[in-house]
Structures are given as C-alpha cells and as structure tokens.
Amino acid sequence: MITASHNKVSDNGVKVADPGGEMLTQDWEPFADSIANAPDPDSLIQLIDEFAKKEDIPLNGAKTATVLLGRDTRPSGESLVEAAKQGISSVMGAVGSDMGVVTTPQLHWMVRARNKDMKASASEDDYFDQVSTSFRCLIDLIPKESHQGIGKLIVDCANGVGGEKLQVLKEKLNWSDMEIRNSGKEGILNEQAGADYVQKDKVAPQGFGPSDVGIRCASLDGDADRLVYFTIIPNGNKQINLVDGDKILSLFALFIKDQLSILTDDKNEYQPRVGVVQTAYANGASTKYLNQLGLQVIFTPTGVKYLHEKAHEYDIGIYFEANGHGTILFSDQFLSWLEDRKSSERDLEKHNAAKRLWAVSKLINQAVGDALSGLLLVEAILQHMGWSVDKWNELYCDLPSRQLKVKVADRTAVVTTNAETIVEKPPGIQEAINALTVKYLQGRCFVRPSGTEDVVRVYAEANTQEAADELATSVATLVSQFLGFHS
Ligand SMILES: CC(=O)N[C@H]1[C@@H](OP(=O)(O)O)O[C@H](CO)[C@@H](O)[C@@H]1O
Ligand SMILES: [Mg+2]
C-alpha cells in the first residue's frame, strides 16, 4: 500500500500486508528496513536472495504469486505503484495487480479475503457489499422502542481517499443525513484536517465552524485507518469535545459485552474470553471505566502491531490506540460457536444477539483498524442505543492530559519496560519522575522514545489541565537534564 497515512502530502511511505491481510510479521521488519535502504539495484537483489535462502522461500514459486498494490491520493502514488509493479515482475517474476486508489484497510481486507476466505477475486466492490450488508443487518435488528433518528453526521475526510470511498457507502446505504467534508476534491491532503490533526491538537478541522455546533462530527485520517469523533464547543474558537479511540473502544466493548450477556450465562459450557487492549496513552478514565464493566484490560507497547497481536489471544479481542486506530478480532472458535447459536437458538432475544455479534464480525475489519467500517459500527451502536454523541461522550469523563516532545541527543538512550510505563535507562530518571508525579492528584506520567520521530515523548495526566501541563513540563525538563539537549 503506497501511503504516508496522516503525514503531509509531500511525504511518501509504504505499508506492507502479510498474506493473511494483517500487518507484516515483526520478524521481517529488519529485512524491510534493509531493502528500503539498499544503495543500488544489485544490492537489493542480493538482499532478497539472501533473505529468501534464510527463510527457505523457493523464489521460483514466486512466479505463481500475485501482489496486490494500492495507493492513497498522493500525486506521487501513480509512479510509485508503477515502480513497484516493475520490481515485482522483473525481480520476483510475480504479478503486481493494481487495485487503484483504495484505503489502506480496503487493501488489507482484499488480501485477507483472497487468501483466508478463499474469495479468489475479492475486490473493492465485495468490501462495500460486505460492510453495507452487515451494517443494514445491525440496523434492522434495532429494537422498535429505540428506533429513533440520532441526527446528522458530518465527516471530515482529511482530503484523502476516505472521501470518495465514504461517498460510495453513502449512496449504497441511501444515507441522506451524512455530509462529507474535506472530501479530497479540492484542498490539501491532511492539511489542518484529519483524525491525527484533530486528536493531537484537539481542534476542529478546517471547514468546520460555529454552524456545526451540536452536530455529531467524525474525522478520518489520510489513508482512512484512523477514526475519531468530536463536537464543536459553542463560542470556543475551534475548540472541540474530542471523542477519541478510547471512547470508541469503550462503546464497542459495552455493546459486545451486552450482546454476550444476552447470549450466555454461567451455565454455558463455552465462555468466550474477551480482552480489551490499550497502550499507556489510553486515558486513565477509560481504563477505569473498562475495568468497572468487568472487562480484562491488557497493556502493550505503543504501535498497533503490538495491540493487534495481543488481541488475537482472545475469542473477542478489542483494541484501540487513543489516536483512533483499532478494531475487534474474533477467533475462529468463537465464530463457529456463534454460527451454531445463530442457527439453533429458539429464544428470539438470544437469536438476535447472536445475529448482531455475527454482523459485527462481518462489518468490522478483521485485518487492520479501519475508519470506514469503524464509523459504520459506531453509527449502528449509537442508533441501537438511541444515544446522542454527548450521551456517548459521558460514558466517562477524560482526565486532563498533556503530551510533549523533547528533542535529545540520542533517544535510544531511553530504555523502557512494563508496556513502556517504566524507564530502566538512564538510571535514576524513573525515581525522579515518580517523585514529581506523586505531587499531583490522579497524577500519572511516563516517557518513551518515539518509534516514528526523533524525539522522546512525555505523557502526563492529572486531575486538572494546569496540573497535567505542569507535570508534563517538569518531566520534559528532567528528560533534557538526563539526556542532554539536542545540539
Ligand atoms: C503517541 C502516539 O500517538 N504515537 C503514535 C506514533 O508512534 P510513536 O512511536 O509515538 O512515534 O505513530 C504510530 C504510527 O502511526 C502510532 O501507532 C502511535 O500511536
Ligand atoms: Mg493512517
């Protein structure tokens, strides 16, 4: 997938799906790094040959392989896809099949559908069919008493690929109450728009203003694998109430738990294991809420590859990063049990709960986090509950938080443990952070080296915004003292 996601339009990047449609296995990352940095074509071919030998991959088998290629809306995409196609055929002897402009999750979905679900020709149309059919199924199952409109939705598409794809869904679903903004027809990709901008800066994207107060708004990122919601604060100068990935996770977890409790009781032999996966950036109030729901919450280091892997350990694994990337994974064992229940259950309530969970498993992307299918699931659940976005946002109240970046001489000098919540190296810094944190009510603070930028990130939470800001600033100073200023 040729995309640089939420980054500026002049950036380029590539995301690689494995044959199951999921993210590239972590063992292969060093190889990906080495070929990306190969100095010339000969070294590239040599690296590929060596790797194929090491992994025991018969390269002549590649002749029967197909590599699906997709791209986001960046102007550079077309020529990069062409280059990829040439590389795939001339170096590997395989076929590069161009799927055109697609969202990252659509491409992952197609790879998965072709290999895992044995739909040899799975296309974008099949994706649209599956998500719209399962969405309609959820809507049709809404109990009559809560069948009421929940009002208009406006979606900021970051001027990216999500705009044209959401338009397809809008037409397929006859969804008149949804408006698409920053659709990509004009405007610059990701510029003051999109889920990353909205979540990090906590402000409304461009094109949104006072006339949108009171309306449910959502934001996708440039390749449509992240989703956040928000509402505009009246007279707030672009300020928003952010409904982030933690809240999407909480809504999904609540719905799944409700449906499971209709379907099962203590007498059931099979008790599906539900796991909720977060990172240290999850707001402390969300973790508390999920614990109160009686759910098992597990933490992993930052980066969706870790959350995704952990979520696979459960029958139903629900994961989200606060930035809005996440999905729900269902185990094969659970799905076959569910299929059984769906066909054998005589009790109407239980039968419907089974059908809802089945529809969720078809709607939500099983390969990666997907803003479009995530958005449809949020909308279906809100309609099911008869909830406004405010009601949803009131599930719990976010603790004030602050994120800062510190430029240091060498960020790899920071070594963390315990899902990145404790610093092991340099020695002494964790004790100093602890000494500052205990001064604040509901204080929580951690530092970690970024995996994507040359900075150390500081995250702080406390009972007031001033306190969170102060804690973050003083810990940022500590980081500079311990690690030396960037020269
Ligand atoms: C605090 C934060 O938002 N970190 C982001 C950011 O990672 P860093 O390792 O923090 O740079 O980019 C990752 C990739 O998009 C995303 O998965 C992660 O959540
Ligand atoms: Mg993205």
Res 147: pLDDT:
63
Q: Is the pLDDT of residue 487 over 60?
A: no
Distance (angstroms) between ligand 2 centre and the Cα of 292 equals: 31
Band of residue 438 on the pLDDT scale cut at 50, 70, 90: very high
Under DSSP, the state recorded for 330 is: E
**Three-state secondary-structure class, residue 442:** coil
Res 486: pLDDT:
58
Res 140: pLDDT:
96
Res 396: pLDDT:
98
Q: Is the pLDDT of residue 388 over 60?
A: yes
Burial of residue 116 (CB within 10 Å: 0-12, 13-18, 19+) is middle
Choice among 145-154, 353-362, 396-405 with the minimum mean pLDDT: 145-154
Q: Supply the mean pLDDT for the chain.
A: 95
Is there a single domain that holds both residue 74 and residue 103?
Answer: yes
Burial of residue 102 (CB within 10 Å: 0-12, 13-18, 19+) is buried
**Residues comprising the binding site for Mg(2+)?**
5, 221, 223, 225
List the catalytic residues. 5
Residues 303-308: contacts with CB under 8 Å, at least 24 apart: 303/451, 304/23, 304/368, 304/369, 305/23, 305/26, 306/279, 307/277, 307/278, 307/279, 308/22, 308/23, 308/368
Q: How many residues does the chain have?
A: 487
In angstroms, what CA-CA distances link 406 with 113, 425, 454? 42, 16, 9
Q: Which pTM value belongs to this model?
A: 0.96
Is there a single domain that holds both residue 283 and residue 360?
Answer: yes
Is there a single domain that holds both residue 233 and residue 252?
Answer: no
Band of residue 485 on the pLDDT scale cut at 50, 70, 90: low
Which of 89, 120, 151 marks a domain boundary?
Answer: 120
Answer whether residue 185 is part of any domain: yes
In angstroms, what CA-CA distances link 466 with 104, 295, 470? 38, 31, 6
Is there a single domain that holds both residue 210 and residue 305?
Answer: no
The sign of the torsion formed by the CA atoms of 278, 279, 280, 282 equals negative
Is there a single domain that holds both residue 252 and residue 226?
Answer: no
Is there a single domain that holds both residue 29 and residue 99?
Answer: yes
End-to-end CA, the chain = 36
Q: Is the pLDDT of residue 395 over 60?
A: yes
Res 244: pLDDT:
97
Find the ligand nearest to 190 CA: 2
pLDDT tens digits, one per residue of 308-366: 999 999 999 999 999 999 999 999 999 999 999 999 999 999 999 999 999 999 999 99
Number of compact structural domains in the chain: 4
What average pLDDT does range 186-204 have in this prediction? 96
Answer whether residue 135 is part of any domain: no
Is there a single domain that holds both residue 236 and residue 265?
Answer: no
Answer whether residue 388 is part of any domain: no
226 lines ligand 1 (CB under 6 A): no
User: Among 30, 291, 105, which Cα is nearest to 299's?
Assistant: 291
Find the ligand nearest to 189 CA: 2
Answer whether residue 279 is part of any domain: yes
181 lines ligand 1 (CB under 6 A): no
* % of the chain with per-residue pLDDT over 70: 99
User: Among 161, 56, 63, which Cα is nearest to 106's?
Assistant: 161
* % of the chain with per-residue pLDDT over 90: 90
Answer whether residue 384 is part of any domain: no
The number of angstroms, rounded, from the C-alpha of 94 to the middle of its chain's C-alpha atoms is 31
Which of 222, 243, 264 marks a domain boundary?
Answer: 243
pLDDT tens digits, one per residue of 21-50: 999 999 999 999 999 999 998 999 999 999
Structure-token pair, residue 433? 């952070």
457 lines ligand 1 (CB under 6 A): yes
pLDDT tens digits, one per residue of 259-302: 999 999 878 888 999 999 999 999 999 999 999 999 999 999 99
Compute the chain's Rg from CA coordinates. Answer: 23
Calculate helix-pair angle for 348-363, 332-344, nearest 10 degrees: 140
Is there a single domain that holds both residue 231 and residue 304?
Answer: no
**Residues comprising the binding site?**
5, 221, 223, 225, 321-323, 448-452, 457
User: Whose alpha carbon is nearest atom 3 of ligand 1?
Assistant: 323
453 lines ligand 1 (CB under 6 A): yes
Is there a single domain that holds both residue 238 and residue 273?
Answer: no
Answer whether residue 373 is part of any domain: no
Q: What is the CATH number of the domain that holds 454?
A: 3.30.310.50
Structure-token pair, residue 376? 């449809």
Looking at the CA of residue 452, tell me the nearest atom of ligand 1: 11
Is there a single domain that holds both residue 97 and residue 25?
Answer: yes
Q: Which domain holds residue 444?
A: 401-483
pLDDT tens digits, one per residue of 118-146: 788 999 999 999 999 999 999 999 987 76
321 lines ligand 1 (CB under 6 A): yes
Is there a single domain that holds both residue 116 and residue 169?
Answer: no
User: Among 200, 202, 201, 163, which Cα is nearest to 181's?
Assistant: 163
Phi then psi dihedrals of residue 318, to 5 deg: -110, 125
Res 484: pLDDT:
83
Band of residue 437 on the pLDDT scale cut at 50, 70, 90: very high
Answer whether residue 462 is part of any domain: yes
Answer whether residue 342 is part of any domain: yes
Which of 55, 86, 120 marks a domain boundary?
Answer: 120
The number of angstroms, rounded, from the C-alpha of 96 to the middle of its chain's C-alpha atoms is 27
Band of residue 452 on the pLDDT scale cut at 50, 70, 90: confident
Calculate helix-pair angle for 161-172, 124-140, nearest 10 degrees: 50
Is there a single domain that holds both residue 300 and residue 251?
Answer: yes
Q: What is the CATH number of the domain that holds 225?
A: 3.40.120.10
pLDDT tens digits, one per residue of 65-80: 899 999 999 999 999 9
